[in-house]
Chains A and B, each alone.
Chain A
Amino acid sequence: MQKFFKTKKFYVLCGIAVLLCAFMIRSAIEGNSALLISRLAGGISRPFLEASANFTDALSGFFSKYFKTAEVYEENEALQEQIRDLQEQLVDYESVKRENEQYKDYLGLREENPDYDFETASVIGRDSTGRFASFTIDRGSSNGIAIADPVITADGLVGLVWEVGPTWARVRTILDSSVEVGAYDIRTRDSGIVSGDILLSEKGMCQMVSLPRDSGASAGDLIVTSGIGGVFPKNLVVGTLSEISLSGSGLSLTASVTPAADIASVTDVLVIKSFRGQGEENFSSLPETSSGAEASSGAEASSGAEASSGMEASSGTETSSGAEISSGAEASGAESGAAP
């Protein structure tokens, strides 16, 4: 075996290993899309991934008609039951109902938000090594997509773009613990931060932290984006609250959130390339708290209402799109798309 370590081939392999280490260092500093070889791998594999995704979609669509009848029936029953429950809950909350209806389909979304510049995209890659349901879409910088652009479906928020190639982009979802979204409860107007949780992500759920301790938020409440931080537009549906409990410190509430969008199996998405207020901190968009309760922590909103949690990202790094990235829990109430 020692003979091998004295051959030229061994030195060539060592050289490749050193080159790969250099790639890793550059990638850690500048991101994967900065590397030509990454863009090359993406360019080669994209058409094949796209064809493969289309083929499996067609195949599963064909067979699911025959094999999933019982499952679809049960799911339909469950959804009908859920719709009845939701309608009962929302009967006294007309404003919530109106908000919910606004996001029913893409066309409605376009009409309601003329300032949004959309790009439709299909999911072409979902690797086992892509954690938190992250995925690859078939649109990239040549379509005007940039890092930190919000990604949505007609049902609600999915995540944000964190890596862009010429014809593809990688999306981190709100199930990812490195993604933080400023959001508020549309009924109580209490704000908090929606982010991923490593265990909840397995159930396709995320969490809302930093809700005020005296918040009247309850299960079933609709959560929408607050627009603070300028990364996500205001009033995008995030999901519904499922379970609320005291946080570990006992100073605030933490709630599990069921995303409105079916993130784990989404196949088509919309990328918002630009919107009014993008890149602006926009603290004035913070909702007024309905109870007028004192904030548990944080600064005062410009509207004069007391914020339910802090609003300013205490320390941030500029992303390439100009959006502010917060550092973990310090950025209460503001949004970010930080990658570890």
Chain B
Amino acid sequence: MTRDDLRNLMKYGSYVLLLFFSYILQATPGIELFGIKPMLVLPACICIAFLEDEFSAGLLGVFAGIFCDFSSDTVFGFNALLFLLFCVGAGLAAEYAVRRSLINVMLFSLAAVFLRAGLEYVFSFALYHYEGSAAYFYTVMGPEIVLTSVFTPLYFLLTKLVHHRFRPSSEREQL
């Protein structure tokens, strides 16, 4: 195993730990801000996708999504599939279309969280025509979306630190 392989292993190990720790925080009873529980795993996945290649980001997205599926009320695979699509999309966008800046990662994170909440709303509430479900989306899911997006800069900083700390030799030599 070369030094670069070891760095890669430690980098992805750190990402896995970060995602798992975020999931534990997300699912622990009593951890909330202003009575709202943010969804921490998705912004973490989007930040990783912005810094790494789309394939690795997709796999990490599936890993995180599977844990979210365990504690979510949706059918198993719903979060994993969405996280896979979001991470690959964000990875491709960062590679070919947009700069890897904080503002772009925040926009992508907000869009992903909004899309996930919107799809959950459609499949869990709207299809069943629950009375007052629209108000529920605005008053409960809306604040969750906003609060979740607030955590994106923190995750971007953390993932950038990990990415920089375990960068390969070729990039180190350039500096």
Contact = CB atoms under 8 A, between A and B. Distances in A.
B91 to A, nearest CB: 9
B76 A23 contact: yes
Interface stretch (B2-10, B129-137, B152-160): B129-137
A38 B76 CA distance: 7
A91 interface: no
Q: Which has the most chain A C-beta neighbours within 10 Å: B81, B84, B97, B144?
A: B81
Interface string B122-148: 001100101111011001100010000
Interface in B80-97: 80-81, 84-85, 88, 92, 95-97
A16 B23 contact: no
A214 B23 CA distance: 51
B84 A45 contact: no
A60 B28 CA distance: 13
B10 to A, nearest CB: 21
A24 B39 contact: no
Interface residues of B, number: 55
Contact of B76 (A37, A123, A265): A37
Interface in A26-61: 26-28, 32, 35, 37-38, 41-42, 45, 48-49, 52-53, 56-57, 60
Contacts of B58: 13, 16
Contacts of A126: 27-30, 37
Given A12-B55, A56-B31, A128-B38, A27 B77 contact: yes
A27 B77 CA distance: 8
Contact of B29 (A22, A42, A53): A53
Q: How large is the interface on A (under 10, 10 to 19, 20 to 34, 35 or more residues)?
A: 35 or more
Interface stretch (B43-51, B64-72, B104-112, B167-175): B64-72
Interface string B11-45: 00000000010011111111100001111000000
Contacts of A49: 24, 27-28
A64 B13 CA distance: 36
A216 interface: no
A135 B140 CA distance: 17
B71 A23 contact: no
Contact of A128 (B20, B39, B124): B39
A202 B75 CA distance: 23
Contact of B27 (A24, A125, A265): A125
Contacts of B71: 45, 125, 127, 129-130, 136
B54 interface: yes
Contacts of B95: 1
B132 A45 contact: no
Nearest to A328: B128
A39 to B, nearest CB: 9
Interface of B: 20, 23-31, 36-39, 54-55, 58-59, 62, 66-81, 84-85, 88, 92, 95-97, 120, 124-125, 128, 130-133, 135-136, 139-140, 144
A-B CB proximity, top 10 nearest: A128-B37, A23-B77, A126-B29, A27-B76, A24-B77, A127-B71, A129-B72, A41-B70, A9-B55, A199-B132
9 contacts: A17-B84, A23-B77, A32-B76, A41-B70, A45-B67, A123-B29, A131-B124, A198-B136, A199-B132
